[in-house]
Structure 1
Amino acid sequence: MTSYTDIELEAMLADLESDLAERKESFSGGETTEVREAVCAFANDLPNHRRAGVVFVGARDQTGEPSGLAITDDLLLRLADIKTDGNIVPPPSMTVAKRRLRGGEMAVITVAPSDSPPVRFRGRVHIRIGPRRGIASAQDERMLTEKRRGGDRPFDVHPLPSATLSDLDRVRFEHDYLPAAFAPDVLQANDRSVEQRLAVTKMIDAADTAVPTVLGMLVLGRSTRDFLPGAYVQFLRIAGAGLADPVVDELAVDGPISELLRRVDDKLESHNRTAVNITAGPREERRSLYPVAALQQLVRNAVMHRTYEATHAPVRVYWFDDRIEISNPGGPFGIVSVENFGQPGVADLSKPQPGRGHAGARLRPALRGGARHRAPCARGVTGTRRWN
Structure 2
Amino acid sequence: MNTPKYEIEDILNIPEGKTFDRKSAKYDLNKLANILIAFANADGGTVALGINDKKYEGVNLLSTQKQNDIVQIGSQRIIPTLEVEITKKPITNIQKMDDTVWLLSVNPSDDKVYMNKKDEVYLRIGDETHRVTFEERKKLEFDKGIRAFESQIVDDAILDDLDDETVTQYKKLYGFEGDNLWDLLFPKGLAKRIKDQNGNIDYRLTVAGILLLSKFPTAFVPGARIRFIRYEGREAKTGTNMNIVKQLRIEGPLPKMLQQASDMIESQLRTFSSLDIKTGKFVDVPEYPKSAWLEGIVNAVTHRAYNYDGDDIRIIMFDNRLEIHSPGSLPAVVTTDNIRYTHYSRNPYIARALTDFGWVREFGEGVDRIYIDMKEFFLDDPVYKVDDNSVNLVLKNNIVMRSVRKNDDLASKIGDDWENLNFIEQAAIGMAYEHGSVRTRELLNNVDNYSMTSVRNALKNLTNMGILEQVASAPTSPNQYYRLIK
Q: Which has the higher helix share?
A: 2
- TM-score (normalizing by structure 1): 0.49
